[in-house]
Amino acid sequence: MNIVFKALNDPTRRAILEMLQSKDMTAGEIADNFDISFPSISHHLDLLKQAKLVIAEKEGQFVYYSLNTTVVDEILKWLLQFKSKKK
Amino acid sequence: MNIVFKALNDPTRRAILEMLQSKDMTAGEIADNFDISFPSISHHLDLLKQAKLVIAEKEGQFVYYSLNTTVVDEILKWLLQFKSKKK
DNA sequence: GCGATATTTAGACATTTGTCTAAATATACA
DNA sequence: TGTATATTTAGACAAATGTCTAAATATCGC
């Protein structure tokens, strides 16, 4: 859980997740949307992957990234506790 | 939104939020639950306050902290976009 | 196999973060 | 007014973070 909050605590990484909603993208396509170096984006993608928020699949020389929202459920559940049963 | 994710990205601060679910607490009561110095807890509380996740109210020499979950809705909404409409 | 393209790894560096101790501020109460 | 209690502020410091450039790795197409 720690690592998921950590992964979400960065505007670039959140923007990547939002982008991946519309379609799966290669690392390069993702990087093209930011004024940040490729290696930095690669590092962000690695963090998102560690948090299991994205899945990486190699296709030839490309690496396709896609959303994995199962871990989002955990965070949702944690947050919802604060919205339940109150006087 | 940035600051909310930042506030949530720490186990101590998340534990504080969980504690405040059962009852409002003073800064001292909160600090007693951790092996961390009072000033450090005070700093965490300040961050939570900046993120508007808690509300601080002074009563005499005590400062009572209570949950403010309105900002949680924002995060919930942001997260829910990932769980909606998918093939 | 070679050169071009795609991506990651390595290492460096400035900034941010979480923690501490010491000091400051605020309130209670006798 | 003076001392005790509650909390925050200030300043220091090590560790974590986000970024970069340079180099390494992997795959494609000729």
End-to-end CA distance of chain B: 29
Q: Do A82 and B75 touch (CB under 8 A)?
A: no
**Amino acid residing at A14:** R
Q: Quick count: other Cβ atoms within 10 Å of Cβ A36?
A: 12
Nearest residue, CA→C1' of D16: A6
- For residue A55, what pLDDT is reported? 97
Task: Quick: pLDDT tens for A41-80.
Answer: 999 999 999 999 999 999 999 999 999 999 999 999 999 9
Q: Which residues of A touch B19 (CB under 8 A)?
A: none
B4 contacts B74 by C-beta, under 8 angstroms: yes
pLDDT range class, residue B85, cuts 50, 70, 90:
low
Query: What's the domain count of chain B?
Result: 1
CATH code of the domain in which A60 resides: 1.10.10.10
Q: What are the backbone angles phi and psi of residue B54, rounded to the nearest 5°?
A: -135, 160
Of residues B21, B82, B83, nearest to A17 (C-beta): B82
Q: Which domain range does residue B20 map to?
A: 2-83
For range A2-17, the mean pLDDT: 98
Least CA distance to B85: which residue of chain A? A21
